[in-house]
Structure formats: C-alpha cells, structure tokens
C-alpha cells in the first residue's frame, strides 16, 4: 500500500522496518464527547489496519489519547470535579464509541501514563544542553535543527512569524515548550529538578512514541490541522532524542470535517457526537458516508448526503442475503483486484466504494462483494 507522506510530498510505501508495521495516531483530548471529525480519523486508520492485516501484515496501531490539557482542567473546574474524573469519564465514553463503530484494530495509550518518561527525556535534553530553562519552563533549542519546518514547508522566517507558546525568556520564537511550569492549570506534576508543572502537548506524544516504539516507527497519523506546530514539534523532538533523521517513515494526515463554514470542534461548540449519529444511522451508514470522500479531502458535513446512504446500505444487504447466485458465493474475480488497486493507491475509498456499490447492484459477484464489505468494516 502506498500512502501519502506529508514530509516527502509523495505516496510512499507503508513498509515495516522490522516485520511489524508500527503506527501512532493522534487521538482526541478527552474533555467532551467525541464527534464526527474524530470518527473520520478513527475509521480511516481502522480501514488501513484492517486491510493490511487481512493481507498478512503484522501491525501495532496505537491511538494516543491526550488526558493532560488545560481544557480538561477547565471542564473539571466548571463541573467542580477532578481532572481524573473528567478524563476517565470521557475516555470511557470514547471507548464505547469506538466499540460501537466496530473498531477493533487500535490499542489505546493515554499520555498521563507516560509522565515519568517525559520527565526523564526532558532531564536528558537538559543535561545534553539541547534544552534550557526560562521563566519556570523548559524548551527545546531549535537553533541547531536544520530540518525544523520541513514537515510543514515553513522557512525559518515563517517559523519566526508564526510564533507559538509565546513567553519571556525564549531564546528563539520557534523553540518548543517541553515542560510548562509557569502556568497553573490545576493539573501539575512535581520533579525535584524541573519543579511543579506538566509535560507539554508535543512532549506528551513524543514520550508515548519513545516508550512504546523507542521513537522509531513507520506511520504517524492525525488530522491535517496537526501538521504545525504539533507534528513538526514531535518530529523535531524525535530526531533529537533518537539521533535519527527519519524516526518516522510516513507522516500522514486526514482532512478536517466542517459544518456551517467552520471546522467541527469541541472548542467551537458545533460538534455532532458520534453516539448521536450511531443512534440514528448505525455504524454501516457512517462508514459508507465517510469513505465516500478521499481521506485527504476536507469533508463538509451534509445530513442530506448522509441520508442517501440508507438506500446504499439496503442495496448491499439485499445483494448479500437475497437472490444471490450460489455459483459465485466463493469464487472471487478481477473485481477484487480492482478494488484492492484503489486501496493500494493512497487508500482511495471513494473509488473503492463506487465499485462496491456497483458490485452490489449486479447481485452476481457475491464473493467479491463479501471481501469488499469485510475490508470496509460493514456488518450485515
């Protein structure tokens, strides 16, 4: 399978370095229910893993959940609850949504389980003079990282103009916050050398990658909005920590879901919850709708478009269970090869779905149809 690599700008082959394809996916921050934008990412990587596993590849796919974040602390304060109660509650709700969507290819990691790893990594960067203290925070010095900005196609001047984590004492505007000890979010950890604080967003994910994969793996995935600064920062950290200029082979990104002209986001309060869609449509129709667009294209939510897949779902079910030609129940044809060729070419689910629907309408090639349905994760 060739999949688009944001770093190279090419469709690169997803090839495991040591016999097991290692994948890390940036999942949601757990302070509210997950929405259709999250479902698009979850279902896309579920399909990739499902397809490759059915074709004999061994895969470890980790969904990384952020449970250390100011938004979680704000929700806890609002509800007069604890941060742990909020994060545990919405992790459990996410797991219910994942199960209801029929996803069984992803393992879960939560960043709070890797704080000790973060602490050790940051202390190591400080001892090597790659990191420095400023105003109670610790930063990664990016001045010597020649490749910084390559993932997001940003020049040094672009990085200066697009400043993040603005704070006094930073040596360079692009330096990456590793440990936040200057802000009080109500969620803190203590280290005798670092003081009170929390490992910052990028370091949290790098710590998961270092702990599970030793910082060397094959695919890092997530939404397009994460390219900068999040994934650019993770790449810079992993290059520094592993002394490997290509710690991740493929950086892959899924287009955003928007509604009423804005991206669907918990911060904007315009989300459509996964469970509400499941209650009305079920997993099959959600999968069909999301796979009808190529994963790299932005998706503008349309209920009328979603409703159209009721009939598609019925067409597929009818072809599988009614009037099937028994002679073709077990013998696959060239249609399977055509279907897989679309998926092998940057996971073109839109073309693959058109072929699936056409095959269902013909009601003849049931073995091919069963294979396509299985890859798409549809249940009848």
Domain boundaries, the chain: 2-254, 262-376
Q: For the segment 181-216, what is each residue's pLDDT rounded down to a tens digit?
A: 988 777 889 999 999 999 999 999 999 999 999 999
Q: For the segment 141-183, what is each residue's pLDDT rounded down to a tens digit?
A: 998 898 999 999 999 888 888 878 888 889 988 999 999 998 8
- Statement: residue 323 has pLDDT above 70: no
Q: What is the CA radius of gyration of the chain?
A: 22
Rounded to 5 degrees, what are φ and ψ at 144? Answer: -100, 5
Count the Cβ atoms, other than its own, within 10 Å of residue 71: 16
Q: For the segment 255-303, what is each residue's pLDDT rounded down to a tens digit?
A: 999 998 899 998 888 999 999 999 999 999 999 999 999 999 999 999 9
Tokens of 79: 């509800």
Tokens of 247: 């710690």
Task: For domain 2-254, give the CATH number.
Answer: 3.40.50.620
- Percent composition of the chain: helix, strand, coil (DSSP 3-state, to 5): 45, 20, 35
- Statement: residue 107 has pLDDT above 90: yes
Question: What does the pLDDT average to over 72-94?
Answer: 95
> Residue 315: is the preceding peptide bond cis (ω within 30°)?
no
Secondary structure letter of residue 220 according to DSSP: E
Strand partners, 196: 190
Cα separation, 116 vs 98, whole angstroms: 28
């Amino acid at each position: 399978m060739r999949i688009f690599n944001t770093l190279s700008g090419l469709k690169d082959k997803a090839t495991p370095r040591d016999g097991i394809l290692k994948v890390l996916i940036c999942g949601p921050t757990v302070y509210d229910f997950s929405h259709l934008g999250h479902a698009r990412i979850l279902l896309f990587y579920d399909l990739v893993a499902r397809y490759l596993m059915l074709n004999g590849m061994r895969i470890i796919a980790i969904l990384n959940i952020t449970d250390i974040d100011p938004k979680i602390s704000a929700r806890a304060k609002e509800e007069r609850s604890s941060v742990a109660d909020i994060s545990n509650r919405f992790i459990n709700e996410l797991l219910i949504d994942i199960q209801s969507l029929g996803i069984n290819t992803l393992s879960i990691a939560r960043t709070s389980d890797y704080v000790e790893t973060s602490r050790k990594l940051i202390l190591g960067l400080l001892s090597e003079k790659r990191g420095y203290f400023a105003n109670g925070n610790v930063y990664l010095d990016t001045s010597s990282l020649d490749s910084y900005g390559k993932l997001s196609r940003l020049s040094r001047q672009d990085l200066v103009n697009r400043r993040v984590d603005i704070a006094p004492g930073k040596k360079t505007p692009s330096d990456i916050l590793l440990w936040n000890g200057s802000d009080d979010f109500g969620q803190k950890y203590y280290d005798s050398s670092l003081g009170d604080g929390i490992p910052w967003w990028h370091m949290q994910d790098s710590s998961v990658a270092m702990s599970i994969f030793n910082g060397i793996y094959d695919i890092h995935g997530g939404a397009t909005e994460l390219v900068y600064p999040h994934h650019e920062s993770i790449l810079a950290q992993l290059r520094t920590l592993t002394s490997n200029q290509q710690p991740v082979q493929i950086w892959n990104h899924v287009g955003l879901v928007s509604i009423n002209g804005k991206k669907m986001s918990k911060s904007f309060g315009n989300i459509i919850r996964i469970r509400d869609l499941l209650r009305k449509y079920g997993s099959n129709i959600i999968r069909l709708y999301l796979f009808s667009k190529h994963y790299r294209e932005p998706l503008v939510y349309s209920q009328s478009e979603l409703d159209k897949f009721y009939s598609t779902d019925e067409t597929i079910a009818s072809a599988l269970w009614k009037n099937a030609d028994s002679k073709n129940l077990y013998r696959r044809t060239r249609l399977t090869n055509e279907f897989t060729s679309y998926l092998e070419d940057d996971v073109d689910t839109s073309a693959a779905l058109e072929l699936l629907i056409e095959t269902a309408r013909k009601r003849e090639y049931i073995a091919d149809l069963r294979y396509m349905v299985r890859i798409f994760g549809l249940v009848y």
